[in-house]
Structure 1
C-alpha cells in the first residue's frame, strides 16, 4: 500500500495533458467499454445529430480523470469519485486533467481531502467532478 499523499488546502497537484483526441482513441475506448453509439464513430450519422463532428464518449474523459486521481493519490486511498459531463469532446481536442484540494477534514479516523476536479478541452471545461481521498497529515 502506498503512503497517502501530503497536500494542503488550495494545492493543485500536477496536471496531465492528454491528446489530441483521435478517432483511434475513441474506437479503442468503444471496444473496451462496449459503447458503439454512432455519435462516436459514424460521420454521416453525426451530420444528422446537430454536432459539428464525431464526439468522444463522456466516460472516456471520466476514465482519464479517474486515472489521474488514482495515479496522484493511489486507488487504495480513493473514498469517493463523481463526475458531471458539461461539454462534448471532439476529434483533435487536447485535454488538461487536474484538480484542487478544496478541504481537508478528519472522517472515520482518516485525514481526507475533498478535491474539485476538472477536465478542460480546447474550448473550456468538458467534465467537472469531485473526489474524496485519504491524505497524510502534515
Structure 2
C-alpha cells in the first residue's frame, strides 16, 4: 500500500471463478445447505434463473480481494455490502466475479482508507455499497 492515496485511485482489480464446486465447498464450510445453491429445479421453482451462489460467498470473495491488497486481514476494520443481484452459476460451467477497489476516502487522522468496491458479473453489479475501511501501515 502506498501512503499517497487520492480519492478515485484504483487500488486493485481481482477476478474469481465461481463454479458449482465452489458452492459445494462453501455450503460445507458454512452449513448453508439451502437447495437454491445446488438444485436447479428448486431454484427455478422459487423464481430464480438457476442455482445461485451464496451471498456470503460473494461477499467473502470481495473481502479476500481487499485483504490481499491490504496484506493483513487484521487491517480491515470495517466491511459491509448490500446484496443487489444473485450470482447465477451454470452447470456445467462457471461465472467470473470481478472485484475492483478504489479509494473512496482517506482519513489521515485515523490512518485509514475507505475502499469502495465494484463487484460485478459480466459487467453487471451484484453488490452495492460495498465498502471496507482499511488501516494503513
**What TM-score does the superposition give when structure 2 sets the normalisation length?**
0.87
The alignment's C-alpha RMSD in Å is 1.4
Partner residue, 2:55: 58
Q: Which residue of 2 aligns with 1:105?
A: 107
CA distance in 2, matches of 1:24, 1:66: 20
Report 1:1-138 matches (<5 A): 5-6=1-2, 7-9=4-6, 10-19=8-17, 21-73=18-70, 74-91=72-89, 92-107=94-109, 110-128=110-128, 129-136=130-137
In structure 2, relative to structure 1, the CA distance for the partners of 1:14 and 1:106 (3 Å cut) is: closer
**Could you list the runs of 4 or more consecutive aligned residues of structure 1 that deviate by over 6 angstroms after TM superposition?**
none
Unmatched runs of 5 consecutive residues or more in structure 1 = none
TM-score, structure 1 normalization:
0.86
Unaligned 5+ runs, structure 2 = none
